[in-house]
Amino acid sequence: MSTPSGARPRFAVVGNPENRRVALFADAVRAAGLPGPRVVPWAGVLRDGGADFAAEEIVRIDSPGENAGVDRLLRGTSDATRVEGSARWYAGFTAALRTLRGGIRLDDADDLAVLFDKRRCHGVLRAAGVPVPASPTSGPHGARVRGWDDVRALMREHRMPRLFVKPAHGSSASGVLAVETGGGGRIRATTSVEIAADGRLHNSLKVRRYEREADIASIVDALAPDGLHLERWLPKASLHGRVTDLRVVVVAGRATHAVVRASRTPLTNLHLGGSRGDLDAARQAVEAAGVRWADVLEVCERAAACFPRTLCVGVDLLPAVGWRRAFVGEVNAFGDLLPRLTGLPGSGAEGLDTYAAQVTAALRAHARTDPPPGPLRPHSGPLDPLARLHPLHPLHPLHPHRTGTARARTR
């Protein structure tokens, strides 16, 4: 990664200018002593057919979410609470990524296309040996779900009395159902989906339970045209009587930040009533089970290594009951929104929030002139992204194409 001799690094970000994600990243850039990044609005990208970046600009792609106008352009509806339409959103988003021209990318369009398709992402992780819940819909040859009848058939075939039904292109638990069955034909789905009087589906901040199969079937049938992903529901570990998982942010190959999410429902998302748990207590529970905490973080780094051309991802880690095993539930392209959370001890990002850690990684890569090529290697010492970057990572100076042009994948 290099810019003209003596030139100061310049950042740009594609995002929604009013969004706090953009503001937090801009704050981190300015805190590094640089001018704030050039902000390229998603609305302009979508309306104008793309955007151009200077060869030396370091470009961050941020979430297009939380903007009604952008959502309308991508999803085709002005109602931001609607659940349906995720396939159209995905098609519009991935097409828009291809219209960004030039620059040094911190995010790769091919990686993002996989990260926003849960079926493809699960298949990539599984092929790499990353522990994931069992899934009949995983990868290019997975089963396709046309509606509730298919879900029922796959539950029987794969002996999954408890499973998660997820929109393939969803985020923030939108449209996710945690389904469990019992004797006597009992069934229950826990979800944030609200069925309106006209039958349309809306996201709600209230987690609710449906116990009539007809209601569950109507939700699944409405979402199936957008694509669905099924995963076995693995019993998760708990702390203080609450179901627990972790969001772990990985920057330049290293797990730098982590937060425990605890809930009384199967959905631990913080906006759905989940709360931040005690990270020290989680680490102690892991070590009491005879497992090294570093090995838990290494599972997240292995998941992130499946996307070596993207600087930062957020990994949802599911610790199993007993804390001896952990599985990757999701890998999130925009999973770094953890305001005021500073880096893990020993991560090299101590005292830095997730955005500052990314800016630091980018600047150190910019300053490095003779990086060693080769695969990811164990880290040591302070945060040094090039010590762990695959040669095809966008920040690696030996990357064959650093301008966002098409290139062959080598996985």
Is the predicted pLDDT of residue 99 greater than 70, yes or no?
A: yes
Q: Are 135 and 233 in contact (CB under 8 A)?
A: no
Distance CA 231, CA 164 (A): 5
Q: Which helix (H) or strand (E) holds 250?
A: strand 242-251
Q: What is the pTM of this model?
A: 0.88
Phi, then psi, of 366 in degrees rounded to 5: -65, -40
**Can you tell me whether residue 260 is helix, strand or coil?**
strand
Report pLDDT digits (tens) over 100-156: 999 999 999 999 999 999 999 999 999 999 999 999 999 999 999 999 999 999 999
pLDDT at 368: 67
**Can you tell me whether residue 73 is helix, strand or coil?**
helix
Q: Are 145 and 167 in contact (CB under 8 A)?
A: no
Which residues contact residue 68 at a Cβ distance below 8 angstroms, ignoring those fewer than 6 apart?
78, 80
Distance CA 70, CA 98 (A): 17
Q: Which amino acid is at 371?
A: P
Report pLDDT digits (tens) over 13-35: 999 999 999 999 999 999 999 99
Distance CA 231, CA 252 (A): 28
pLDDT over 70 for what percent of the chain?
87
Q: Does residue 227 come out as left (phi exceeding 0), alpha (psi in the -120 to 50 range) or beta?
A: left
Which residues contact residue 208 at a Cβ distance below 8 angstroms, ignoring those fewer than 6 apart?
190, 191, 192, 193, 194
* Residue whose C-alpha is closest to residue 395's, from 78, 164, 103: 103
Q: Sort strands 177-181 and 100-105 into parallel, antiparallel or unpaired.
A: unpaired
pLDDT average, residue stretch 273-294: 93
Q: Sort strands 10-15 and 51-61 into parallel, antiparallel or unpaired.
A: parallel
Q: Does residue 50 come out as left (phi exceeding 0), alpha (psi in the -120 to 50 range) or beta?
A: left
Distance CA 385, CA 251 (A): 8
Distance CA 313, CA 358 (A): 11
pLDDT higher at 370 or 55? 55
| Planar angle of CA 221, 76, 90, nearest 5 degrees | 70
